[in-house]
Chains A and B, each alone.
Chain A
Amino acid sequence: MSMKTSRLIIIVGFLLYSILSSCSKVGQNSGSEKSKIVVLAEITAGDSAIIPVSESAPVGNSQAISFEKITTASVTITDNTGNASSLRWNNATDFSNNPAAIYTNPVVFKPDQSYSLKISQPGLETVNAITHIPQSFSVQNVTTDEGSRNGKDVMEFNFTIEDNPNEKNYYMFEAVKQLVNSHNYFFWQGVRYDYDTPNGQSVYEQASSQQNIDIFKDTVPTNKYIRLNLYTSDTKTDNEDFGSLDSSFHRIFLTDSLFNGSNYTSSFAIDKSYFEATVPEEKGRVLIRIKSISKELFDYLSMYEKYRVEFGILPPANLLSPSGNTQNGLGVFGGSYKNEWVYYFDEL
């Protein structure tokens, strides 16, 4: 074999080897994606367990986007002493419009305690998640003020956090309006009648023609809320990372990395647009919360806040989704300790 032929064989051989050995392992979207269990839960010290559980939907399969509620799952929460509590699907009408099935249990969570969650459902991968509810903390020097931001009337909320030096704290501030259900009722001949029903009104008209009958009002808080927009000028907050401080936010995030163990005074403003309801369905009470939350919840919610801001500005393929702490599932299972102030602006 001549030198020329040998060189040619070596070169062609090397080329062929290069091409054959380079077959890509990155393939097209095969469409074989399977649904996963989704947990979107925040457990709070002092509150009972409310765990939303649903099923994700694979995208790109030309199916309408709809979320299946998982109502037959086995949901268990275990604390760090080994006490396990089973949660049951709560089919109350209060939760009927929720995209997730709500699992509840009267067990009350404690601060500075770790909890693990396990959700099993035949046909889906079992989900496990662990979180820790932070230690309790105090908020002092709370004052409120009237103000204006971006042409909107706001309530300035000023406060001082007494930061716990023994742990890394992740704070989150938010304000919601908890909606209430108001019921009008009266008593006639020892029987209670619901004035808000046609039958009750008929009985009331008949009875009130005979004697004077008082109508009583019963106000019950629901599990429905309205999100209130917040503003902050505090440059130490993380909110500058996903928007200008001139913007409004749903949540404000702050870590104690700059003031660990010291008191920290800050403030934020709450948009008053929904303080007073213009329609009866929006009546409720304003809850202002300063929370210390677990890191996994902080990470998830801060990315979720950015995602929410950019949804509608960026095409979906460009959005960076929040990622949580659930193994084999999606969503987040986080813990929080809250300081809460309740304000009433509606006549309830």
Chain B
Amino acid sequence: MKNLFLLLCILIGFYSVAIGQKRLLSETYHAKKTTGTVEEYLEELKLNSGVVFEYSSNNIEANKLIQIDASDNTIGLILQKVLDGQHLKLLEENNKIILVPSADQFNIEKFLPARYALFGYIKEEGSQEPLIDATVYEPGSQKGTMSNFYGYFNLSLTKGIHRINISYAGMQPIILEVDMHSNLRKDISLSVKKESYSAVVVQAESTLKDASMKIATAKLAPYNFLMGEADPVRASYILPGVENVAESFNGYLVRGGGTDENLFLLDGNPVYNPTHMLGALSIINQTVVSSMHLYKSDFPARFSDAISSVMDVYTKEGNMQSWHGEVNAGLLAGSFTLEGPLSKNKTSLMISARHSLSLPFYSPFQKGITSDFYDTHFRITNILNSKNKLTINAYKGEDRLRQTGTDIDNLHHWGNLTGSIGWNYILGARSFINTSVNISQYQNLGGYKYTLYLNDDDQQVIQTKSVGTYSNIQQYNAKSQAEIYASKKIKLNIGVKAAQTVIKPFDTKISGSLVENQKSFTTFAPLTFEELSAYSELEVKLGRHLFVKPGIHASAYQFKDYHALEWQPRLFASYRLSRFHLLYASYSKMSQFLHLVTNPYLGVNSDIWVPSTADLKPEESEIYNLGYSYHNGKGWKFTMEAYYKNMMNVTNFADGKSYFINSTNWQQNIESGKGRSYGSEYQLERKGKKLSFQIAYTLSWSFRQFKSINNGNEFPYKYDRRHNLNVGINYAINKHFETSAFWTFSTGEVYTLPNQVYPDFDNAQQISTPDDPLSAYRFVYHYSGVNQYRSSPFQRVDFAINYHSKKDNKVQSLITAGIYDINGAADQYNFNLRGSLSSKSIIIKTGTSIFNMTPYISYTLKF
């Protein structure tokens, strides 16, 4: 608590520094010439500005050449330019301005003209849907800002008339003329562009405020689809540094981190397993998405609880003016979305539901998989008044999946439930506050059946064992975050959060057949922990080219008698080299209190979440990132990043301990170690009127080190893939048809297999076990190392063609047809051994994928 008090003091300190003083010298004045010496400008001011001015020529560098432009329209602004870098300070006495020598460089800040806030929401015309990341920009002063996740913006402007450009991708930009003589609330509506295929014009930004990757969710590209089912999360898999991992619990890995190190936020609420069909499809129905950002190099201070990445997804609020909807049917699922006003311009409803379809002609394309899933999204938004807005969100989804085939018989059953109530409040002209209470629940059941056969013909069964695991986790949290626009150069983000997480552990069930009834599992005492966190972050513009964002996140944690306080400093800086070239760098320390222990080799979701304890310290990472971006404003974009990531206290099952946690001493079965990953990422994008493409390449290394594993030596992480290349290409044939293709290639995964087999210890002592059904097959497999072998590379080619009707039509239709996995390649390789004394010792390599090469078609109707 003492440390939290310290943090609050720091927050208050930040705020105090941020509040700028507003004084005189705000009178308008236009210089008579654009170039001149310091002395010439000072003399001009003395003669023409009407302000009484005093200075000594001995104290100034009088002959320095200065350039003044039209935006320098007050005495204060001109003085800042003229005296920049000189050791002077300014005194104001009896309506007279005096320049006197000073040890510090001249700073006019406190004398700058009065500034006022232009603020409000940016929305889509008609639906009143908030637009996230819309640009608000004044070309004259080259000052701008972007709307936040709730569509709120705030731009500090000097007194007088200003012309502001407001733009958003896919929307008709507008120019807003405002006369600023006091703070001004202005809600702005942008309309959809009529011309579908106009070239994308991108405004060169003055600075970059974070290194998040905004995911283009609406693209009609194969990487956004799975068998015709639009999936915005799949769009992130084309990004460098992100690996799509089949048959894992959340479908993706980021920069050498584990699956549990990614935080998936749905409207700010954590979702522990955001996938259907073992990671093949996300729970996010494209029609409900408002925005998606992936954070993997720079983490704003508001984030914690994930040491590798944060996926931040916001859903639509719903149309405030008229009812609209969308119906979709494809091979995998059928869905609908409906949105409209319950009370016009006051209350809106958005509801969406999706259910898997079991089409008989489709089953040959599935590889021994029976899948059944559904998801529902629900949101109500109520505008209480011009300052207050209330939202209620809910999500529920469930999956049941059975995999059968040679050497495989797995059962998976999992589901998520989330709910939240959020309140947006505009606190005056310079502050915006969002407060919410949230609940998130996840339960997972996974089981596999393992059969030993007498011979390779699989006819005579020696023994069948079914192993099942069940786990349940739920979190309750309340949080509040504020954005304070302290001055034109400083913005402060602060927030607090309190959370309680309850994990219900269950034993592992070993029986003759797969168990699906959760009541069959024996539960232990719940593991409950509390977390209280606060963050503070400053966004500071230092001149026109440099932007810095220092921040800190502090989390206090308690589980039983164990307490921890995690300080997580963050720093981001960007520097614009020229109009098109930009450099940025960041450092982030991240922590998470949840550990996921799983045996990734079993092929089932055997995930068990456990809290941090005195033995299992909180997981931490330190990420260093350096980036370069080229953006020419004509559709070409190139980014390059290099990173190094240290991971501390990552977990694994301890060597020699059971994979199955059947007792309260579970901590002894888990070992924590460390890891590191590093690499470089490259992305080339071209957005054209007809042809667009995206190429992403990642070169990376990832390692882990545990005291009891591999003799304590570092070994490659299971998902250590050296090269990863993704190529996506779109071509618009005409106004109705467009075609696209996607190719992904990556180095194979590392895996462990025994390399020697030798006699059983008891057999060598001549000790027999008559009631052991496996007595004839007892021998010991020996491993010389961990992950010493590498599988074949992975690659997949997808193709799609889309037809859409005229966008002006009241009812629009979209038909998507394509072929998934044209080359029929595997997305996962399993290696195993089959051996018996009467048989042979063979390494079995099984290439698996959930789907074969599959042609598909889907139909979407929008109204």
Q: Do A and B bind each other?
A: yes
**CB within 8 Å of B: which residues of A?**
11, 15, 18-19, 22, 24, 26-29, 33, 35-36, 38, 40, 42, 52, 54-67, 94-95, 97-100, 176, 223-227, 240-245, 250, 273-274, 282, 299-304, 306-323, 330-332
Determine whether the beta carbon of B790 is less than 8 Å from that of A24: yes
**Docked pose: A323 CA to B659 CA in angstroms:** 18
Q: Which of chain B's residues have a CB closer than 8 A to the CB of A274?
A: 770
Q: In this assembly, does B832 line the interface, its C-beta being within 8 Å of a C-beta of chain A?
A: yes
Whether B759 contacts A306 by the Cβ 8 Å rule is no
Residue in chain A with minimal CB distance to B790: A26
Bound-complex Cα distance A245 to B781 (A): 26
B197 located at the interface, meaning its Cβ lies under 8 Å from any Cβ of chain A in the complex: no
> Contacts A26-B716, A224-B768, A312-B774 hold; do A321 and B754 have CB atoms under 8 A apart?
yes
Q: Are B768 and A225 in contact, with the CB atoms below 8 A? A: yes
Q: Shortest distance in angstroms between B671's beta carbon and chain A's nearest beta carbon? A: 12
Looking at B386-394, B588-596, B834-842, the stretch in contact with chain A turns out to be: B834-842
Interface residues of B in 747-775 (CB under 8 A from A): 747, 750-771, 773-774
The answer to the question of B510 belonging to the interface, with a C-beta cut-off of 8 Å to chain A, is: yes
Question: Which among B765, B769, B780 is the interface contact of A52 at CB below 8 angstroms?
Answer: B765
With contacts A59-B754, A227-B767, A241-B668 taken as known, whether A316 is within 8 angstroms of B835 at the C-beta atoms is yes
Known: A59-B835, A241-B658, A315-B833. 7 other contacts (CB 8 A): A57-B756, A224-B768, A241-B656, A242-B656, A245-B663, A282-B770, A316-B835
Bound: A54/B757 CA distance, A: 11
Q: Which residues of A contact B662 (CB under 8 A)?
A: 243-244
The residue on A at minimum CB distance from B452 is A312
Which chain B residue lies CB-closest to A39?
B764
Distance in Å from the Cβ of B567 to the closest Cβ of chain A?
Answer: 34
Chain A proximity of B411: nearest CB distance (Å): 16
CA distance A24 to B657 in the complex (A): 31
Contact between B756 and A56 (Cβ–Cβ < 8 Å)? Answer: yes
Q: Which of chain B's residues have a CB closer than 8 A to the CB of A59?
A: 753-757, 781, 833, 835, 841, 843
Indicate which residue in A97, A244, A331, A332 contacts B663 across the interface (CB closer than 8 Å).
A244
Q: List, in ascending order, chain A residues with CB within 8 A of B836's CB.
A: 65
Residues of A within 8 A of B362 (CB): none
A125 to chain B, nearest CB (A): 13
Nearest CB of A to B716, in Å? 6
User: Are B669 and A241 in contact, CB atoms less than 8 angstroms apart?
Assistant: yes
Which residues of B sit under 8 angstroms from A52, Cβ to Cβ? 759, 764-765
Closest-CB distance, A67 to chain B (whole angstroms)? 5
**B699 touches A (CB below 8 Å):** yes
Chain B residues with CB under 8 A of A226: 767-770
Given A56-B757, A57-B757, A302-B656, answer yes or no on A65-B465 (Cβ-Cβ < 8 Å). no
Most B CB within 10 A of own CB, among A26, A57, A61, A176: A26
Contacts of A19 in B (CB 8 A): 699, 723
The verdict on B352 contacting chain A, using a C-beta distance below 8 Å, is no
CB <8 Å contact, A242 and B657: yes
Given A18-B699, A59-B833, A306-B656, decide whether A311 and B778 contact each other with a Cβ distance below 8 A: yes
Q: Does B722 contact A (CB under 8 A)?
A: yes
With both beta carbons as reference points, the residue of chain A lying nearest to B628 in the complex is identified as A11
> Out of B658, B680, B716, which one reaches A242, CB within 8 Å?
B658
One digit per residue, 1 when the CB lies within 8 angstroms of any chain A CB and 0 when it does not, for chain B 459-499 equals 00001010100000000000000000000000000000000
Q: Which residues of A contact B659 (CB under 8 A)?
A: 310, 314, 318
Interface size on B, residues (CB 8 A): 78
- Find A315's partner among B450, B463, B782 (CB 8 Å cutoff): B450
Q: Can you report 12 residue pairs joining A to B where beta carbons are below 8 Å apart? A: A26-B789, A28-B790, A33-B756, A65-B840, A226-B767, A241-B669, A250-B769, A312-B774, A315-B833, A316-B835, A320-B783, A321-B780
* Chain A residue, CB-CB nearest to B638: A11
Find out whether the CB atom of B599 lies under 8 angstroms from the CB atom of A318: yes
Contact A312 B841 (CB under 8 A): no
Task: Given A26-B750, A224-B766, answer yes or no on A33-B833 (Cβ-Cβ < 8 Å).
Answer: no
B195 adjacent to chain A (CB < 8 Å): no
Q: Does B602 contact A (CB under 8 A)?
A: yes
Q: Does B213 contact A (CB under 8 A)?
A: no
Closest Cβ–Cβ distance, residue B840 to chain A (whole Å): 5
Chain A residues whose CB sits within 8 angstroms of the CB of B762 once the complex forms: 227, 250
Q: Are B831 and A317 in contact (CB under 8 A)?
A: yes
Q: Are A304 and B842 in contact (CB under 8 A)?
A: no
Residues of chain A within 8 A of B665, CB atoms compared: 240-241
Judged by a CB distance under 8 angstroms, whether B21 is at the interface is no
Cα of A250 to Cα of B771 in the assembled complex, Å:
12
A306 to B656 alpha-carbon distance, docked (Å): 7
**CB of B743 to closest CB in A, whole Å:** 17
Inter-chain contacts of A64 with B (CB < 8 A): 837-841
Could you tell me if A28 and B837 are in contact, using CB atoms closer than 8 angstroms?
A: no
**Residue in chain A with minimal CB distance to B767:** A225
